[in-house]
Homo-oligomer: A and B are copies of this chain.
Amino acid sequence: MPKPASRVRQDAYEAVFGALAHPARRRVLLAVYFNGGAMTAGEIAAMFAHAWQTTTRHLQVLEAAGLLTHERQGRMRIYRIDRKRLALVSDWLAHFQTPVKHRTEGKQDVRNKQTDSRQGEAAKARSA
């Protein structure tokens, strides 16, 4: 049984959001992008104060997330950004564009809804 597509998707979100959670990695993506989409590992590492072995690892995280790809070019490695992958983030964000009757100010609604659907499952879920 091949792993279901939904699972893959799930992991992809995981990887992408996880990768974006670190400032150094966000910076790498921006830098690579503004450098025309590609930079060598050395150029990238040079942007940071930390040991570049550390950058190497960040690059691996970004690559594992599919946000970067690399390719050797002689003795150096060129990292290239894959903008398509960032679309996963916009896709996720797009959910919040879905129109939903937004009762953000209708505090009572929540209160009432709560009062009768509340602890049925909650308690069960908890005590399990």
Residues in A lying within 8 Å of B, measured CB to CB = 10, 13-14, 17-18, 20-21, 23, 26, 29-30, 33-34, 36-40, 42-43, 45-49, 51-52, 71, 73-74, 76, 78, 80-81, 83, 86, 89-90, 92-93, 95-96, 98, 100-104, 106-107, 109-111, 114, 117-119, 121-122, 125-126, 128
Contact = CB atoms under 8 A, between A and B. Distances in A.
A95 B30 contact: yes
A90 B20 CA distance: 13
- Say how many copies of this protein the assembly contains: 2
| Prevailing SS type, chain A contact patch | helix
Contacts of A49: 125, 128
Given A40-B114, A43-B118, A52-B126, 6 more contacts: A13-B23, A26-B92, A34-B98, A36-B109, A37-B102, A38-B104
